[in-house]
Every structure is written in C-alpha cells, then in structure tokens.
Structure 1
Amino acid sequence: MSEESIVREDVAEMVGDWRGYVEAKLGFRNHWYPVRFSNELGEGQLQVVELLGERLLIKRIDGVVYSMRDRCLHRGVPLSQKPDCFTKDTITCWYHGYTYRFQTGDLVNILAVPDSRLIGRRKIVTYPVEEAQGLIFIFLGDEDMVHPLARDVPPGFLDEDLMVLGKHRVVDSNWRLGAENGFDGLHIFIHKDTTLRHYRTFNFPIGHTPRPGAVQVVEDEEGPKGVTDDFSQHDPVWDGVIDGQVVISGPRSEQVHGTSASVGTSIWLPGVLKVDSFPNPGLTQFEWYVPLDAKRHLYVQTIGKKVHTEEDRNAFASDFESIWKPHGLDGFNSDDIWAREVTEPFYADDYGWVDEMLCEPDSTLLEWRRVASRHGRGIQTPEKLR
C-alpha cells in the first residue's frame, strides 16, 4: 500500500473532533457495502471486486453468494490470475495447487502436496454476504463485529414494497468527496442547467442555507447513524448578483411547493445518501460511495419506487430506462462525478482538510464528519490489508 493511503498525523491532529473521518481514507471497516447488482452475478459465475483497498472474489453457488480474499495464503498471488475451479464450491491456486472452499475459506487440499499438515488447519479470509433490493452487500470487517444490514442502509430502503433499479460506475476520487458532494446543499449551483427540468417543474435556487433546526443528527443505538437536512427549512438564494447586476437566476414556478428539486437529503454510515422525492415525487434516490482504494470509489446509484402491482413495476422500469436513468443518473449525476474528480487533487495529500475555506451552509458537512467519526466501527488501514 502506498504512503498516499496513510493519513498525515499533523492533519489528523488539526481537524479535532472529526479526526476519525480524515483517517478513514480507505473507508470504515465493519460495515456493509454494495459491490454489484444481483443480476450481474449468475449461478456459478466468479468475479473480482475491490473494497476498502482489498481485492475479493465473489461467486454464486446454488443461489448463494460467497466472498473471499483474492490472495493465496502460500505465496500471496491473486487466485483470480487464473481461477481454477475444479469443483463448484472450491478454487485452486494456479501456482502450487492450494485449494480453498468458498463457503468457509478452509484450505481443503494442496493438490501438489496432498499429505500436507496444513490441510484443514488454515483458512483464507472470507466475508459475510447478503442480497437485498437487488444488490449484493459485503460486510468487510471482523467476525465479532457483524451486525444486521438494516443498520447500514437508510431508513425505508429495505421496505418490502420498494422496487429498486440503478447502475454503478467507478469515480476517480476518494469516497469522502463523493459523500460530501452528495450531501452538500450548496452544490445545487452546478445543476442549474439540468435536463431534468424537461421532466419535472423545478424550483431550483442557485443556493440555500439551512435555518436552525433544519439539520438533525440521528444516532439511535439500534438503527442507522446519520444526518438529515430538511430543505423546506432553508433560506434560498434565487439571484446571483455581481456589482449590482443579476447575472444568473434559478428557475422558479408557482406550481411547485418548496425551494428545490427535493424536500430533503440525508446521509448515513458508512457513506450512503438518501434524496427524498427525487428525481420526481414518489421516487427516492439512494446512492452509495463505496471506497475502492484511496483515490477511487464505486458510485452505486439507485432509484426506488413503491410498487403494488406488476403494472406498477413495468411502468417504473420503463420510466427508469427512458427518463430517470439517462437524465438523472447519467445526466444530472455526471455533473457530480466531474466535480468530485476535479476536487480530488486538492485533498489527495490530506492538507485539503485544513486548507479548505468552508462557509455557512457547509455546517451540514461538518455535522456529517463528526457523526461519521463518532460511529464508524473501525478505520481501514494499510496494516489491515496484510
């Protein structure tokens, strides 16, 4: 692991009560993260995924997905370099024949040394896997820290009548820049020309500041931990003025109640955003910023809708493919991706966390950093990868 993944001690000292957040460059351990959609992994199929600086193998066996570290115990080579799966639930290292069982990680054979005393006494690292709402989640962490998935997803995501559709793509920025871009209310400025306005009548100010009470911290002991921001309790800015001249204005409509494209946002550990009534009333956007390594994250974008009939499901699927995916996930959110990637160099050496010049609306980001520091269940470090 490069030195760039090790947070500088002087920076960690300067940021005070959100030190843990700055130290989590590789993400928080002991949390559930989505890595793929369920329909992307067929029966018997093997894939390599990255998560918090680790390379993992996932495989579906008799309908169940299992995950193990992609590194042979013998000489440390990646099993995926030439995946030999001579039986459906084992993988054999192409180098010397070490063979592991996917369900348990146990070393069940060494084909080149069948009488080795190591057989049955060693195991490769495995991680729990769950599937929910069409996503494959991996719990990357310690065996004694595993907890219910419901504690790591936003409220409402696991509702039985919620249909979830989406996509994922790799973004060349640290995961924290993704999370803060999503929750940053002031970044509404970059979306002023969104094509979504053709499919919804928007009230879209160029900026807004939360009033007292708009931002709430959620720290229930048995539930997800996060921060909510109610946009209806914001003071909007509609006109941008330079030297007394209005140079830009946000679109307004008497047909829409409220000040923006959504009624509120919330962000939850380990790094997932919930946007209510977006990209249209009756829809909810959920998006994850999954750490791949220190400089990249997997952007898992989903939209959920309550459905009750097959007709509802078909209608939502059609609208998703024709409207919400191209104009929302691809169009609207492409502005976000661009912003994260051009911000990355400023924070890459860690000093951006102390050199930044935040303003009043950024108080929401500071609240998120504090909550994440208090409730992150462990920080992924280069030492943990060994």
Structure 2
Amino acid sequence: MTEGFVDQAVLDQVKVGKGYVAAKYGFRNHWYPAIFSDQIEEEQVVPAQICGEKIIFKRIDGKVFCIKDQCIHKGVQLSKKVECFTKGTITCWYHGFTYRFDDGVLNGIVGVPDSNVIGRKRVRTYAVEEQKGVIFVFIGDEDFAPPPLEEDVPPGFLAEGHVLRGRSQEVAANWRIGAENGFDSTHIFIHKDSILIEDADLALPLGLVPLHNGAFETTEEDGGPKGVHDIFSPETINPVFEGKIEGEIVKMSRPEGKNMLPQTISIWMPCALRVQPWPAPDLTQYEFYVPIDGVRHIYFQFLAKDVTSDKEEMAFEKEFKERWVEKALIGFNQDDIWAREANQEFYADDTGWLRESLFEADGNIVRWRKLADQHNRGIQEPQHVR
C-alpha cells in the first residue's frame, strides 16, 4: 500500500451513498443532452426518453420546444401518431385534444370546440437550450428554476471557438455503469489491442497506479460545474507497460508512442466525462451517459477542437468523419460499450453496489460517487417517469 493512500477499510465504508444507489434513473433537476440539432428540422416532431420521462420536441420558427409525450385525457403517447394541424400545436390522434408547444395549454379539441376544459388544462412543458449543435432538456420539477446550462456540462464545453462534432447510440446498461467505465483509470486494460493505439501513435499503458490521494482532485465551487479530476503526471500516476503475473511478463504494451496519456480525465455532474487531450494532442473528447431508463443510456460522444476560421472547422469536420469516428469513437470506445453491457447483470438489482470489491485505484470512483451523492439536485424516482 502506498503511504498516504486510502486503505481498503475506508474504501469499503464510503464507496457508495444511498442517493447514488437510488439514482437508477439519473439525477433530477439537471440539464441533459437529448438529440442533435440536425436531427430536428423546422416543424419536425421528434420523441425521446430521458431519465425515464417520455418527451416530444418540435422546432417552430427555428426554436425547439418540448412537452410531455402524453395526452392528459387518456394518457396515450402523442408520438404514436403525430398530427399537427397548426404550426405551433400537436393534436392527440385519439380524441383530438390539442396542445400548444410553447406553454402546453390545451387550446382546442378537434370536433368538440366548446368544451369547458379548453384553456383550463395543460400538458407538462420542459425547458430547452440549443447549444453547440445539441438540444439540451431540463429534467426536473416544474417549479424548479433551471440553473445556467454551464453548470451541468464540463468546463470549456460551451467555450467560443471550441467546435464540437459528435455521435450517439443506445447502450444496454445503466447510466452509472457508463459513467464509471469512462472514469475508471484501470479499465484502460480492455483497450490494450485497440486499433487506435498505432493509428494515433499512443503510448497506452496496461494499467495506471495512483501514487497518493493527490492523484485525484475535486471541483465543487458554488455556481459552477461539479466534478472530479484524475491528474496524470509522474508525481501522481505510475503507468505500467509490462503486465506481470507472479513476476513473469505476460503482456507488453507500447511505451514508444509519441502521444502520451491525457493530462487529465474528469467527470462532471450530472453525467459527463472530459478527456484532455484525446485522441490527439489538439483534441478534447467529451462523453455524456444520459439515462433512458433504469437499464439503458444514450452514449453521446463528442470530439472538440479550438478553431479560428471556417477553413479550420471544415478541416476538423473532414478529419472527424474520415478518421476519428471509425478509429476512436467506434474502434476504441466499442470496447467500453461491450464492457458496460457485460457489467449490467451484476448491478441490475442494485445489490452490486454493495457486493463489489474495490481496490486502491478505485479511489477516483469513490470520489465521484461521493460528489454525486452530495451535489445532485434531486433523485429521479419512479413516480416521475409515469
């Protein structure tokens, strides 16, 4: 045991809090990415499910609105058959109840124009922000004033000149498994044969040994994003390139790569990862693990680059599509998806959080769980998803 490093007894005592275990559907009163801007055209209606809540988006005169995907009358999903007779509304296909997207008000019933409920009832609305080519939605209580989006994304994500390109896919694992997989410093072992290693000329070790508690830092100032950082430096982390069992070398990685490890990997409330730099010295990777329900999450992957001209942005977009999607976001991160889905069975009934056996290098995971337990704005409970 490295002197000054957290011992096993402490790990076992503080490894997970009740709030974290309860957050199967995610944290309430937070912003989440839902869809990409180019997935919703003018007057197009797009359904989604975030933190168990079924919602529906529509772009009207350039602006995106969001309401609950459920008619207040008989509870059917509006998206089962989309009917929009006017630009700013959606009509339930079952009985003609019609709702405005901007405020959710029931402003008519097709075929029953004089009903007393018209103007007196409404469907739930959700706050929406469109930034960096992404539609974010605020999942929470209607009387909870949404904080600035900047508080729920990693630092730098929204910076001017920071251009992002991304993709998303559904993963059959709980969102917490996704988040911990991304932040787990020793899961690097599953990437030992990745096609990205030679393509990006990486010096990727088999394991990372934290030397002391200074290998992890926490950011939790009021009014800003909350997160935990892994600090990679010779003073904090020992990268291991020779894999040994009982003294015998059984696996060698590639220490000769000119592109070393990221300087930092950090995880941010409510569900985002930042890797700097990665997978190249001039790029940053962001990931969001957005709960769909208790057993699935949307895996958002972004690569970002600071550019100063349209020409540089076009060159980055070309490289993103022709190189990084295949080699990094699919070729490298597919290992992560496989691992998360393989891990889902153990944690499915939530007893895995108590049965797991952590070790020294999991100190960063413990920090993340404690931060999430302390700084979430609420737990998304089953009654919210009906």
TM-score, scaled to structure 1: 0.93
| Residue aligning to 1:20 | 19
SS at match of 2:293: coil
Map 1:1-386 → 2, pairs under 5 A: 18-143=17-142, 144-212=144-212, 213-232=214-233, 233-253=236-256, 255-256=258-259, 258=260, 260=261, 262-386=262-386
- Cα distance change on mapping 1:74 and 1:236 into 2, 3 Å: same
- Which of structure 1's runs of 4+ aligned residues deviate more than 6 A? none
> How far apart in 1 are the matches of 2:286 and 2:117?
45
Work out whether residues 15 and 353 of structure 1, in 8 Å CA contact, stay in contact via their aligned partners in 2: no
Measure, in 2, the Cα distance between the counterparts of 1:255 and 1:239.
Answer: 18
State the one-letter code of the partner of 1:114. P
Distance 2:147 2:44 in 1: 27
Comparing 175-184 and 34-43, the one that deviates more: 34-43
1:248 and 1:312 map into 2 onto residues whose CA distance is: 40
Cα pair distance change 1:317/1:254, threshold 3 Å: closer
SS at match of 2:17: helix
Unaligned ranges ≥5, structure 2: 1-12
One-letter identity of the residue aligned with 1:230: I
The answer as to whether partners of 2:197 and 2:204 remain within 8 angstroms in 1 is no
1:58 to 1:254, Cα distance in 2 relative to 1, 3 A: closer
Q: Which amino acid aligns with 2:181?
A: N
Q: Which whole-Å CA distance do the structure 1 matches of 2:376 and 2:356 have between them?
A: 23
How far the C-alpha of 1:145 sits from its partner, in A, is 3.2
Deviation at 1:16, TM superposition (A): 7.6
C-alpha separation between the residues in 1 aligned to 2:263 and 2:88?
47
Cα separation, 1, equivalents of 2:64 and 2:53: 18
Partner Cα distance (1:17, 1:287) in 2:
22
Q: Which residue of 1 aligns with 2:7?
A: none
**How far did residue 377 of structure 1 move?**
0.6
Equivalent pair of 1:15/1:354 in contact (CA under 8 Å): no
1:115 partner letter: D
Give the distance between the partners of 2:105 and 2:253, measured in 1 at CA.
60
In the TM superposition, what whole-angstrom CA distance separates every residue of 1:97-147 from its partner, at most 9, and x where no partner exists? 111000110011122322222111111011011011111100111232311
1:82: Cα distance to partner?
1.2
Task: Give the Cα separation in 2 of the matches to 1:244 and 1:142.
Answer: 56
Q: What secondary structure is seen at the aligned counterpart in 2 of 1:21?
A: helix
Count of equivalent residues: 370
Compute the RMSD of aligned alpha carbons.
1.3
Letter in 2 for 1:294: G
- TM superposition shift of 1:254: 6.9
Point out the more displaced range, 331-340 or 204-213: 204-213
* Code of the aligned partner of 1:46: V
